[in-house]
Structure 1
Amino acid sequence: MSLLSCFGVLLRTSLVLYLFLKGSQAQCTSCMSFKGVVTSTEITVQVVANCSVSTGNTSVYSNSTTATLPRLCPGSTYRVIVLCKDGLKFNCCSTTKPVIMNLTASAITTSSVYLNWTQPLGNSSFYRVEWTDCNISDSQNITGTSVNVTALTAGVQYHFTVIAVAGDNTIEGQSETVSKYTEPEVIRNLTVSEITTSSVSLSWIEPLGNRSFYRVEWTGGVRDMNTTTNETAFNVTELTAGVKYTFRVTAVAGDDMTEGKTISVSLFTKPAIIRNLTVNEITTSSVSLSWIEPLGNRSFYRIEWTNGGRDMNTTTNETAFNVTELTAGVKYTFKVTAVAGDNITTGNAQEKALFTKPEVIRNLTVSEITSSSVSLSWIEPLGNRSFYRIEWTGGVGDMNTTTKETAFNVTELTAGVKYTFRVTAVAGDEMTEGKTISVSLFTKPAIIRNLTVTEITTSSVSLSWIEPLGNRSFYRIEWTNGGRDMNTTTNETAFNVTELTAGVKYTFKVTAVAGDNITKGNAQEKALFTSKPFHWNGVNVFSEVEPCNDYVNICIEQ
């Protein structure tokens, strides 16, 4: 066909189309019978060759089996007219698909997701919003460009689809889909089940709805740390003793990003145990303690003590403390514990059990001294005691014994020896002793042996004896005639008493005296008369009278 002939056909077709449109402008039915594809900006119609396709404003001629009307407005209704050589093929209305843009999800909670999008180019009548968790689906028609989808399940992945519907209320545009997880619910009943110096054990009840795992975070040490777990319990380790930590537990959805609200708990790890608790001094009413501070941190120390009947405690920031106002001779248990900064969390206690020193015994008295024994008595001390330790030194060796009584007779001593006796109250541990009270004294010397009168004159008497068993310092010789008492001392075992009166009865006593010049043994004595002279036939005669015999020795002076 020549170019002129084609032009003639188009001209006639356009004229016929114009007249047809003018006559049927008021009526337009949907294009249901022709085959074609409608997009947001194009309508493609299947035709035979040598047909023209027109929307009224746009017209194309096709010499193939399809004709496409381009550059259309999305969501708009167009009258599509197809004219071919053999006459009118179609006269119907078709609507381009509206297209939404920039679909976003925001303000995600445990039960809702807020969707918004940009109004599509062209026209749209309303929007269909659909959502599903692959088990339950729902939809909603709205006219605006945003919607808050509610009544969702926490921690679940939802697929949200928004479709623009054209003005014919039938044609749907290309859908836009966004997939989001709702926030998991908050975990329930976060509990600290155990606290040590280096770990904290956490447990909780899983949240309502769904979750994928839990994120556990903790801060307070050298650096911030976190980990994840699928369980509803976790033991956080490698912590520093006595440090305040904040632990946060959060449920995380399946996208590993969407998190629920965090539940947190702040607490101190236990301080470590104090080191090297030492008792520096024990008195009757006080105990001095010292220690080395624990590893890690601590705020202060709590000192507790009890005697089994009354509990007491105090605090200090120092590593030493003197506990006072205690009772003598009583067993006390002392505990020292490091306390954390919350004034509540305590480490394990280090303890010492010991007795205070008993008080000193009162009024130590020597009630009797013999040549081989010393009897002691005293008043019990104030406070408590378990028994008494008696020690004595001065003899062959040091000796000791114990008694629960307030009196004791020390026997098997050596006569005339100086002994030191010590009496000490001892506490219930049989080791802790009070101050010692002592007394030093001599046992009585033993009696001298075999006191003998070796010579008697009118003015003197010679005595001799054998020294006593045991020790002595010297001898005291005493003599009396009933009217006048005389005495002297000697270190010898013989003595000549002079300046006596002739013919007078004298009593002589010889006593061994100990080294204190006071303690003496029992006396050995002799009673006798000194010689008395008389004249017989001009001769001086002396009589030697033995007081215990019935005879008189007569001596004649030549």
Structure 2
Amino acid sequence: MLFCLNMTCDDLESAVDMCKRTPTVTPNTTTYSTTPKVTTFSTTFNAPTNGTKTEDTTTESTTTSNCVFEPEPDPEQYIEDACVVLLSFGMWKEEDCNRSLPFICYEERFFGQINISDVNTSAGNLSWSEGPGAKNISHYRVEVTGDKNQTFNQTKLFQYIENLTAGTLYKVQVFPVKCGRDLNPQNISFYTYPSDVQNLIVVSVTTVRANLKWSKPDGNHDFYSVTFINALKTEKQKCDNEECTITDLIPGTEYVFTVKAVVNKMTEGVPSNVSDYTIPSTVRNLRSADNDSTVIMAFWDPPTGNYSGYRYCLEEVNNSRKCTYCNITSDSSITANNDITNSGNSDTAKFSNTDCKTVDETETFIKQSNRSDGSMFCVCVAALTKNNTLSGEMVGIPAYTRPKSVDLSLIPSLKEMQATWEINGNYEKFEVTIISADAKDIQSYNTTNKDYTFTNLKAGVFYTVSVVTLNGDLTSVPANKSDYTRPAKPRDVKATAIKNNIQLSWGAPVESEGALIQYIVKYNTSFWDETNEINTTETNITIPYLRPGTKYTFNVMVLAGNLSDPATTHAKTEPEKRTLVLTMLCSSQTALHCDKPETRNELFETLKKKIDDKFQDLVHWKLKAKTSKDIL
């Protein structure tokens, strides 16, 4: 009982004595009033501040309410509507339920819910559940502790707290006030949201990073959270200062950068946004074809990252340029990234806006026709983003149109080759070269004329003449033409018969000594009306399986486009001898005419002439006359 009243035995006796001390006379009722001794107690709670916990102690007071006593009725009197009451000295007794009795308002424990909502940078809505014995609670006292302390008395179950500092920890206690005394409070702590940062800008961007800068927000903060978003993903980075470098970005990509001040590691403030594009990366593997006299063609591979198109510039320059760097002197529509351009360097190609064009992202080559032949050009290509308004770094290479090739003609002779040509284009000089078929004889000269005569050549040799147009360091496609020098005939042709084979040998022409030339050997027999030929690069051959006892004619010629005059010789194969006997019968009207020697000789000579007319020396034959005596 004493514990519930929060009183000691002495306190209770003193209160009873005081109630009996001053009577107020009224019919049937006596009221005493006293103010009991004040008793205090304390509660301790923890509240986090900036990631740490601190202990705060609040002293709470408890006061005893006024007591009202009335004279006790006669205990022997019957009570029709009786209630059981507890007397001051601990005895239970029946009393009229409608009778007023003295009471003491003792403390009850306040176990309720408390909540803070709609918190912003400077205010929040506090709400709580009602305390025990709510009809006896006169009001609630709200105490706010932080950089600014505030106190409110509220009869409702909510309180709007304002005029707070952004990014600050506040501790709130809600005390139910019952019978003039404070019950134990409900406690809650919260942070106001940090304010938004000011003057957020993107100071600079590269292909993979962005430098941000801003001013401190009003109020307090621990650090900053920077969120950067592209079309594919969202990433976050912690920054301790008002300047921050965001790395590992994708080239040519639009990013939205959101900066928030943060307190308590997780309470983020009002966001501030800024957006920008990273610079596109450079195109890769830029190269030119350089294989046409009036057309410039260049190719490249797409850059890493994102891009919306390409910008290329083409300008004719002198041959001393290297086109290492590119610089556009004027253009208001495209922002160029010329950080590395050295405008004073002779390797820098300078372009005006009229020298440049834009192509869409699907095209990775350019083709420009009707360009000057034999000229050098600088080709520069950059990737674009931001709807083709932001340019990456330009990559430059030299590109060329070839000088035109000449129209070549050759006039060969025995030991010379005259080359003449015509050209309709730019040139500085010509390089003329002649090379033999076996590549052992090579001559090369430069000339500004449109003709050249090569001398000291070998007769009957196949030569190729090449003419290259030169214009500075630029070269044309070679104009090539081939022909033979006029051939000379072979020397010292010899034929030797071995049975039905003939060995043939000869010497190379003096004018062709040491050169690899080709020969044609034609051989025939008129008697048998047979003709054959052999091609060879040798100077001796054996012709087998010929007809025995037959005369063959051999013509050896140099084959060099046209045939040379032949070197001729003859040879007979060895005969396979056979004897043919012809018996002649003679009849005459003149007696003994056939037996005369003159008649015999005339007949023999006539026969010999006929055989000679037929065989001549084309085959082996021999006619011999014999008498019947000789035969027998």
Residue of structure 2 equivalent to 1:279: 288
Structure 1 position 119, deviation (Å): 4.5
Answer yes or no: is 1:61 the counterpart of 2:97.
Answer: no
State the 1:210 CA deviation: 0.9
In the TM superposition, what is the alpha-carbon distance from 1:184 to its structure 2 partner? 0.5
**Aligned pair in 2 of structure 1 residues 143, 380: CA closer, same or farther (>3 Å)?**
same
Paired residues, number: 392
Distance 1:21 1:94 in 2: 25
Query: Could you tell me whether the CA contact under 8 Å between 2:32 and 2:68 is conserved in 1?
Result: no
For residue 314 of structure 1, what is the aligned residue in structure 2?
A: 358
- Cα pair 1:388 1:423 within 8 Å, conserved: no
Give the 3 Å change call, closer, same or farther, for CA 25–137 of structure 1 in structure 2.
farther
Q: Is 1:293–1:319's contact at 8 Å kept on the other side of the alignment?
A: no
Structure-to-structure mapping, 1:457-468, within 5 angstroms: none
Over 3 Å counting, the alpha-carbon distance change for 1:222 and 1:154 in structure 2 is: same
Give the alignment partner of residue 289 of structure 1, picking from 298, 313, 320.
298
* Correspondence 1:291-370 to 2 at 5 A: 291-307=300-316, 310=352, 311-318=355-362, 320-325=364-369, 326-340=371-385, 342-344=387-389, 346-359=391-404
Aligned to 1:433: 476
SS in 2 for 1:159: strand
User: Partner of 1:389 in structure 2?
Assistant: 430
Residues of 1 paired with 2:28 and 2:266: CA distance? 59
Identity of aligned residues (%): 23
In the alignment, which of 267, 283, 287 is matched to residue 258 of structure 1? 267
Correspondence 1:448-527 to 2 at 5 A: none
Aligned mates of 1:16, 1:318 — CA distance in 2: 105
Selected match of 1:110 from 99, 113, 121: 121
Q: Out of 151, 169, 178, which is 2:163 matched to?
A: 151
Preserved CA contact (<8 Å) 2:22 2:32: no
Query: What is the alpha-carbon distance in structure 1 between the residues aligned to residue 290 and residue 215 of structure 2?
Result: 54
Q: Distance in 1 between matches of 2:183 and 2:360?
A: 78
8 Å CA contact 2:23, 2:32 repeated in 1: no
Alpha-carbon contact 1:251-1:259 (below 8 Å) kept: yes
The residue aligned with 1:209 is 219
CA RMSD between the two structures = 5.6
1:492-536 per-position Cα deviation (integer Å, ceiling 9, x unaligned): xxxxxxxxxxxxxxxxxxxxxxx9xxxxxxxxxxxxxxxxxxxxx
Instruction: Point out the more displaced range, 340-349 or 307-316.
Output: 340-349
AA paired with 2:37?
K
For 1:24 and 1:432, locate their aligned partners in 2 and report how far apart those are by CA, in whole Å.
137
Unaligned runs of 5+ in 2: 1-16, 42-59, 71-82, 92-99, 317-348, 486-510, 512-559, 561-632
Q: How far off its partner does 1:155 sit?
A: 0.5
**Over residues 180-203 of structure 1, what are the superposed CA-to-partner deviations in whole Å (9 max), with x where a residue is unaligned?**
111001123434445455444444
Between stretches 224-233 and 175-184, larger displacement belongs to 224-233
1:463 corresponds in structure 2 to none
1:150: Cα distance to partner? 2.1
**Compared with structure 1, are the counterparts of its residues 136 and 20 closer, same or farther at alpha carbon in structure 2 (3 Å cutoff)?**
same
Letter in 2 for 1:322: I
Give distance in 2, aligned partners of 1:333 and 1:61: 113
CA contact (8 A) 1:389 1:400 kept: no
Correspondent of 1:130 among 131, 137, 143: 143
Aligned residues of 1:38 and 1:44 also touching (Cα < 8 A) = no
1:282 aligns to what SS in structure 2? coil
TM-score using structure 2 length = 0.48
Q: 1:399 to 1:28 in 2, by over 3 A?
A: farther
Aligned-residue offset at 1:391: 1.9
- Residue 276 (structure 1) shift: 2.6
Please list, as runs of the form range in 1=range in 2, the aligned pairs for 1:521-540 lying within 5 A after superposition: none
Instruction: Please give the alpha-carbon distance, in whole angstroms, between the structure 2 residues aligned to 1:234 and 1:172.
Output: 51
* Corresponding residue of 1:248: 258
Deviation at 1:159, TM superposition (A): 1.8
C-alpha distance after superposition, 1:96-153 (max 9, x if no partner): 79969533211111111222334541244444433232x4323344554433222221
Deviation readout 1:150-170 (Å, 9 max, x if unpaired): 2221111112233444676xx
Checking the alignment, whether the CA contact within 8 Å between 1:211 and 1:253 is kept in structure 2 is yes
Describe the shift of the 1:262–1:113 C-alpha distance in structure 2 as closer, same or farther (beyond 3 A): same
Asked if 1:183 is matched to 2:193, the reply is yes
SS across alignment from 1:122: helix
Secondary structure of the residue that 2:267 maps to in structure 1?
Answer: coil
Do the aligned partners of residues 427 and 408 (structure 1) sit closer, same or farther apart at CA in structure 2, a change above 3 Å counting?
A: closer
> Could you say what secondary structure the match of 1:334 adopts?
strand
3-state secondary structure, aligned to 2:214: strand
Q: Secondary structure of the equivalent of 1:285?
A: coil
Q: Tell me which residue corresponds to 2:240.
A: 230
> In the TM superposition, what is the alpha-carbon distance from 1:304 to its structure 2 partner?
3.1
Match for 1:153: what amino acid?
T
Asked whether the 8 Å contact 2:199–2:215 carries over to 1, the reply is yes
Superimposed CA distance per residue, residues 363-392 of structure 1 (whole angstroms, 9 cap, x where no aligned partner) = 9999xxxx99999897873xx66x222425
Give the 3 Å change call, closer, same or farther, for CA 99–398 of structure 1 in structure 2: same
Q: Is contact 1:242-1:297 (8 Å) kept? A: yes
Q: Deviations over 1:242-261 (max 9, x none)?
A: 5555443322112x232112
**CA positional deviation for 1:293:** 3.5
Q: CA deviation at 1:328?
A: 3.1
Amino acid corresponding to residue 147 of structure 1 in structure 2: Q
What is the rounded CA distance, in whole Å, between the counterparts of 1:25 and 1:269 in structure 2?
91
Counterpart of 1:61, as a letter, is: L
Give the match for residue 35 of structure 1.
37
Q: In structure 1, what is the Cα distance between the partners aligned to 2:468 and 2:137?
A: 111
For residues 14-73 of structure 1, what are the alpha-carbon distances to aligned partners after superposition, in whole Å with 9 as ceiling and x for unaligned?
x999985846989886x44x3255999x9879xxxxxxx766799643449xx9xxxxxx
Q: Which runs of 5+ in 1 are unaligned?
A: 1-12, 46-52, 68-78, 83-92, 443-468, 470-514, 516-558
The 3-state SS of whatever aligns with 1:116 is: strand
Q: Which residue of 2 aligns with 1:531?
A: none
Secondary structure, aligned partner of 2:381: strand
Which whole-Å CA distance do the structure 2 matches of 1:18 and 1:96 have between them? Answer: 26
Report the residue type matching 1:214 in the other structure. Y
Alpha-carbon contact 1:334-1:352 (below 8 Å) kept: yes
1:201–1:236 Cα contact (<8 Å) kept? yes
Q: Equivalents in 1 of 2:200, 2:451: separation in Å?
A: 74
**CA deviation map 1:214-251 (0-9, x unaligned):** 22334447654434332334444444555555443322
